[in-house]
Chain A
Amino acid sequence: MPDNPVEMKAIIVIKRIVAFLLLSVFLSFNVLASEKIYVFFPSNINSQSMQDKMTDIIKGVNITVFGKYNEFISRINSEPPDAVITKTMLVKEQLGNYEIQLNGERKGKTVESYVILSTGEQFSVGSVNSETVIGVLDIMGRTGMSTFSKLFFPIQPKLKRVSKLEDLLSLLSFDMIAGIMVEDIFTEYFKATSQMQFNITPLKNANTGIVAFAVKKGGNAEKTATYLKNNEKRICDLFLIEKWK
């Protein structure tokens, strides 16, 4: 340590300046840190393609698209994002820390209905029993999907959960299930993909939200919200909607 008081004073000033600069860099880094958005929306588009398209359009936002429910939920718990884009019922049932700011709309509605696709004999909800096996896209995990299916069936069937739409077709093709329960929007996908003759049975009590943009409570995801509100077709198409509202 220097003995000269002037030198000591100079050192103190320099230290303060350095500290101030470091603090400024730290603060500015936090301000400039990009929003972190997690997306989970099972469809016929694989998660990597969806992520590439979204990242291409929504600049300056850190977007991760998940292909599986388990991975999505696990990451939210370990590294919570600023916001999520996912099925509405998943936000409402399992993501209590997130508040819905925008809902996806299709043909003037923010809700959609479910159907059962089957082959062979016409499917009947009344004939479902505890041994009936229904294939479903895993949107809410084992317990969540079980609870969800109770909305439609007086007697709870067994569920075979899969992560991808095409896996549901495999279940039908190999006669492993009585039918597949999907959002009605996906009926055309199966008709286009398969040459099998499908029976379509609409399900009652089945209006659930299409997709939601939900922000962490007390948090902020303004940049993403702004992009979504622009209702760019390329983004809306990824979620099979016409606009966000």
Chain B
Amino acid sequence: MKCALLIVLLLNCFIQAQDTEYLNSENDQVVIFATKGSIFDQARNGLVNEIRDDFSVSVIEINENTSIGDIDSVIDSYNVPKAVVLIGNNAIRSYVKYANQNKQKTKSIQVVTILALDVQRAVSGIENVNAIAYETPMLTALVSFRRVFSKPVDKVGVLYRNPLKQFIEKHTHYCAREKISIKGIEISDDTSKIELDISSALQNLIRTEKVDALWIPNDNVLLKPEYLGNIWLPELKKKKVPLIVGVEALVNPELNFGTFAVIPDPVALGEQAAEIVYNLKADDWQHSGVMIHPAISMYSVLNLKKAYEIAAKEDFKTYEVSKILKK
């Protein structure tokens, strides 16, 4: 009997943990809509730990069953919060649908978003939003690489497709301040030409331009497995050029591809979002328009096997790397 009661109690705690509250009626209300998952949980924890003492915080899990009505109930139950924080593209999509149908109710709510891919497009439709981009800024990745390897990084090659053109141009300007010259080559979206485009771009950057490194933006079209196997890896085998990437899987030593990964730290993204919430409060919740912030804090991952191809052990600073993959 006691055992059964204990099990019921534990289950109850587990169920309640799915939606969490740190309520204080004297504090301004912030509602967090979050998708479930490891990085989303980390970001949520980073955010909650920062703001729970000064705000009344509620965390609501968003999943495929969450309806507009569910969101409306939440907004009503908290008497229209001062701010909502949306963690992940699913949370943003759900909220955008809701906001479009409830413009009057949501126009006073400040929105902060994190961990959303292609955030500019994702948040279009939300009026008062501060969004933190989830892509690693190219400059941050290159400076981080240069710091760890102590190697000159004067010229860096980048392959990109049209959706990233503006991003690349903007960050080329930032890189110039660090005396890093970016040689970018746009790759066609035409699937009949893409393989040839990637191949000739790589040859151009590696053999003609003789770049010091290649920076690979997160593009699941350019990095399709068949292109990795048929084009990228054979070309990179001929000439060892360090690859700087934005996804940990690409520096897996078994893949034998990326040298160094620089990735936005999810906990720090939560903390960065917390700062935005505090700033919004300080400005009396009056922000209007769309503001996209670069992600500030990263963690780095080194593929030791690939690192040895370009430098001796004593030439790179492992103590400045967050994680080292040996095999």
Contact = CB atoms under 8 A, between A and B. Distances in A.
A166 B321 CA distance: 11
B238 interface: no
Contact of B296 (A48, A162, A193): A162
B49 A70 contact: yes
B20 interface: no
A25 to B, nearest CB: 32
Interface residues of B, number: 30
A158 interface: yes
A166 B145 CA distance: 12
A113 B278 CA distance: 29
Nearest to A194: B178
A171 to B, nearest CB: 6
A195 B178 contact: yes
A169 B297 CA distance: 10
B320 interface: yes
B41 to A, nearest CB: 16
Contacts of A176: 293-294, 296
A173 B178 contact: yes
B144 A46 contact: no
Interface stretch (B119-127, B135-143, B183-191, B243-251): B135-143
Interface string A144-168: 0000000000000010111110110
The dominant DSSP class at the B interface is helix
Interface in B271-327: 271, 275, 278-279, 282, 293-294, 296-298, 318-322
Contacts of B319: 44-46, 49-50
A193 B149 CA distance: 11
A174 interface: yes
B237 interface: no
B226 to A, nearest CB: 35
Contact of A193 (B147, B177, B180): B147
B179 A170 contact: no
A14 interface: no
Which 3 pairs from chain A and chain B are nearest by CB? A49-B319, A195-B179, A167-B297
Interface of A: 44-46, 48-50, 70, 142, 158, 160-164, 166-167, 169-171, 173-174, 176, 193-196
Interface of B: 49-50, 137, 139-140, 143-144, 146-147, 174, 177-180, 268, 271, 275, 278-279, 282, 293-294, 296-298, 318-322
